[in-house]
Structure formats: C-alpha cells, structure tokens
Structure 1
Amino acid sequence: MTDNLANNVLGHDADVPTIPDLAAAPPTPSYGQVQLKSDGVHLWLALPPDVDGDGNTISWAAVLQQLRQRLEATTTDREPQIDLYLQGGDRLLDVRQLQTLAETLHEFAITLKRVVTSRRQTALAAVTAGYSVEQLAAVDHLVQAPPQAGRPQVDPLYLQTTVRSGIDIRHGGTIVILGDTNPGSALLADGDVIVWGRLRGMAHAGFSGDRNRRIMALQMRPTQLRIADLMARPPADGPTEDWPEVAYASPDTIRIARAQDFAKTQLSPGGLGFEDP
C-alpha cells in the first residue's frame, strides 16, 4: 500500500461508524449524586466520584440504588430503547461494575453505548466490555469547546485489546493499541494513532486539526484514514505484502510510506514526535 493512498474521497463510508457529536454538554458529576440528563438524542448519566466533598466514600451499591430510584421516577418521560452515554468522571470502574450498570439500565429499556471517563483504567475496562469510550485528562474538559490545534497533548492512552466493530475510541493525546482494530471500528486522537497490529478500521490522527500527526500500524489495511482535515481511502486492490507503515499528511493529501523508509528522513530524535514532511 506504500505511497498509494492518494485516493482522497470526501464523503461518508458505509464501513465507517458514525461518530456521535459530543458538543452538547453532558451533566457535570456532582458530589454524592447520580444525575440523568437528555440532550434530545441520547440520555446522559453522570456518576459521583468515589469520595464526596466531605471525604466520605460513596459505595457502588449506593450509586446503583440512586440510579434505580432516578430511573423509576422518570420512566414515563423517556422513549423506549434509548441509548445512554455514561459520564464516569474520575470514578474508577471495572468490567464487572460496567456489566452490572448495563444490566440495571437494560431493565428500563436503556442501552449503555459509550463511556466518557478521565480514568485510564476505566477506559480500558469499557473497551474490554465492548463499549465505545472517550478518555480525557480531566472532567472539566467534558464541558469545554473542542481543543485547538497545537495545544499540549495529554498522556498517551495504551490499550492492549482488539477493537471490535462498532467501537470507537476518543482521546486527547496519542492512542496506542497493542492488538488489532476491526472494520467498523474507529480511533480518534488529537495526537498520533499507533496500532501494534492490524489496522482494519478507521483511524483519525490530529483530530483537533494538527496535520503533523501520524498514523502507524504493523499492517495497514484501513477502511479510512484521516489526518486533521484530510481524508483518504485505500485503493480497491489492496497490497500483496504487509510491512509496518506510516501515514502522513502532504500538502493536499495523505500518503503512506514504509516505516523504515519514513524513519530515515522524517523521524525526529525526540521520540514519538515527527518533523514536518
């Protein structure tokens, strides 16, 4: 596929998942309180942190009890089979807790679709459990405007997993996947996208507008690549050989080069950063 990804296509691919617009501000987590809020399309659930403002621990059982009470009180105000986005804030959640939460929601015909969190462990648990995830540096970022190009990057998000179809992952820094991404999945990073495996879904680096970001994979078989405002699809006749490759932005298109060739001329000695092509 090397240097053959000049087939830029504007529009929407059927194989690329529709990424929801999170511009509408979800509810802000409140000390000790479970909150529900509708944005007109989705239902948002905001969880309290593990410890309230007085230093008291808020147990998971207490959270589930509050949630059930809120759901029972608002049953008549909701459409059936509604999708829910969870704003976990800085509360630490594991796979078992997410499954229990999903089961509770299911009793009220609500489906858990996405987890927004500032905890890396929660983000990993969400992907493992099969939910889309947005992992941010701080809870405050959830109610701010999208970040500007060139802003400081948050720490990379490392996930050792297979990203299944229908799952999308958002992160304000670099995303590193130790595994494969399947068709129908999506990775959206303000930084670089690195897949230590087969990239077969959609990848978007420089999501906030930075064209200097890169997409790297051991096997580059994407349904679609995006870097900042540029978008490209692979040619219909795929490569006959596979090797580590890097996708980068030229002045008006996205190009791909073998990693070893790209490194000789483009790689900066500063680690993950790259010089302008």
Structure 2
Amino acid sequence: MVLETDLAANMTSDVAISPAISHSSQVRLKKEGKNLMLLLPDETDSKGELSWSETWQELKHRLKSREQFWHNGGSVSLVAKDRLLDSRQLHTIAETLKEVELILATVCTNRRQTAVAAATAGYSVEQNKPGEASLNSEAKNPNTSELMAEPLYLRNTIRSGVEVRHPGTIIICGDLNPGGSAIADGDLFVWGRLRGVAHAGSAGNRKSRIMALQMEFTQLRIADQVARAPKVRPESFQPETAFISNKGISLARSDSFGKTYAFSVDGNYWQETNSIKNPKY
C-alpha cells in the first residue's frame, strides 16, 4: 500500500498558513510499506535562496500541522532529486525531522555535491542519474557502461550503518568500516582499509573491479559474484585488486594487475595474459 500526503491537499480552513508557504506546496511525505520518504521539489521549479527558505518552512508546516502517520523514531529517506543541498541544509532538515522524532537516514540525489555532503555527514547515500528520482528505481543494462555517471569522490571514512550507492565508479579516500557498504555500478576504489561490504558492477558489469590499499573485507560482490572474508587473515597487507576470473572473484596485486590480466569479452571475465602464476592467488 502506498500512502502519499500533499501539504496543499491536506490543509483545512482552520489552519493558519504562513505567508511564505505556497498553497501549491511540493514538499511531500510518502509512505511505502515501512519506508517513509521525504520528497523535495525540483530546484528547476524555483530558484535562489528564497526557494530553500520556502522549502524549509513548508517542511516544518507539513510535519507539525497534521496528524502524523508515522512511528516515532522512524527512519526517513530524503529524495532531493536535482536540488543542491550543502551540509548546513542537510543538518537543518535532520534537526527539523528530529523535532517530530524522525531520523534522517538516507539521502537520494542526482547531484554529486549533495551526495558528497551527505556521505561526509554520515548519512547513507544513493546517487542517481538525472531523471531518476526514487530509491532503487530501475534495473540497469549491464552493457551500457558508457552511460555511467561521473565518478563519485569521497574524502571521508564510511562508518558502520552507512551505505553509499552511485551509478558509476566510487573512489573513497578513507576507510570502509565494518557495517558500512559501498555499491557502485562501475569500479570501486578504497584508498584505505576495506573492512566492510564492497559491491562493484552492481548493475551486472562483470568487468568492474574493486581495489583497496588493505583488503580486510566482510564481503566482496562484483556483478553476480560473491566472496566472503577468509577464515584466516593474512599477516601482512598490500594493495590488491579483486576481479572476476573463471573461478569467481579472485585477488591480485594491484601493481601488476594491468600487466598480468586482460578482460575476455568471449568469456566475460578477466584472464591472465601470460603463463606466470603466483601461488598466493
């Protein structure tokens, strides 16, 4: 069951309306099952700082003027679409939700700047391509890598409980902690310790790779392949690349991967280009 409420549709004559709030409000709360989504209007509909001020006031009015249909302490997914939000605005939204005992958990956006601000603030992130406004909106064609979004660069550690999704390559300058996850349609690079869940090629691209300076993963996924952490941890670490071989997900030294492996279009996996075998892998 989908329950959607609209501010203008729910106003009654005995409710005082702030002069700054438009009767044709575009701020919406949408409930799908147990999920509560907060949908903001497109930035193209109105411009400037006043637009953000109106949006904030509409949100406050919507949350406080009507009988709530959510559970206290519930998580909210913010669907920002193409609206550009900075860390200050995200904090304001989170504090406004907190006043009615709701928790901002996920930010879904088409804008890389908003995605970076949200991830830096510790929220789960799903970045969509322009035109995709909902969470997990559509299945994607695994053979359309040329249509992937520009890489998403994050200069912070992905903490436990945080999930970052991006329809392209993700580059993390920091750690991916246990309990955290990064999901990319393209490659996934962690310039730090990879100790959480990493999923590259999430739309089905088997050519995608996962690279980390230190592989201590909980789980690796590339396209439809899955690898779990070994029971015995290595005594030392070095930069490694995970990829799909004819045996599933394999690991190789990052410094020699490009010289040793090439992607086979016929086999749809990476294979060695010479006969040199490294017994470690």
Give 1:112-191 correspondences, 5 Å limit: 112-140=104-132, 142=134, 144-151=137-144, 152-191=147-186
Quick check: which one's strand share is greater? 2
Deviation at 1:139, TM superposition (A): 3.4
Q: Deviations over 1:183-239 (max 9, x none)?
A: 110010111111111111110011011211110011111011001111111212111
Q: CA deviation at 1:109?
A: 1.1
Aligned partners of 1:193 and 1:214 also within 8 Å: yes
Q: Determine which structure has more spread, i.e. the larger CA radius of gyration.
A: 2
Aligned ranges 1:1-277 → 2 under 5 Å: 33-52=26-45, 58-140=50-132, 142=134, 144-151=137-144, 152-266=147-261, 276-277=270-271
Q: TM-score, normalised by structure 2?
A: 0.80
Alignment check: 8 A CA contact 2:79 2:133 kept: no
Of all paired residues, the percent bearing the same amino acid is 46
CA distance in 2, matches of 1:194, 1:165: 18
Q: Cα distance, 1:32 vs. partner?
A: 6.1
Relative contact order, higher structure (CA 8 A, sep 6+):
1
Q: Secondary structure at the match of 2:125?
A: strand
Partner AA of 2:206 in structure 1: R
Normalised TM-score (structure 1): 0.81
What value does the CA root-mean-square deviation take over the aligned residues? 2.3
- In structure 2, relative to structure 1, the CA distance for the partners of 1:38 and 1:187 (3 Å cut) is same
Q: Residues 74, 249 of structure 1: CA spacing in aligned structure 2 closer, same or farther, 3 A cutoff? A: farther
**Counterparts of 1:172 and 1:246 in 2: how far apart (Å)?**
20
Q: Which runs of 5+ in 2 are unaligned?
A: 6-23, 272-281
Q: Whole-Å Cα distance in 2 between the matches of residues 91 and 58 of structure 1?
A: 13
Compute the displacement of 1:77 (Å): 2.2
State the one-letter code of the partner of 2:186: G
Query: C-alpha separation between the residues in 2 aligned to 1:113 and 1:217?
Result: 27
Tell me how many residue pairs correspond in the alignment.
244
Q: Which whole-Å deviations, capped at 9, do the CAs of 1:69-97 have from their partners, x for residues lacking one?
A: 11124433222222110001111111111
| Residues 245 and 269, structure 2, Cα contact 8 Å, conserved in 1 | no
Given that 1:32 and 1:58 are in contact with CA atoms closer than 8 Å, whether structure 2 keeps it comes out as no
**Matches of 1:216 and 1:75, distance apart in 2:** 49
Contact 2:110 2:133 in 1 (8 A): no
Unaligned runs of 5+ in 1: 1-23, 269-273
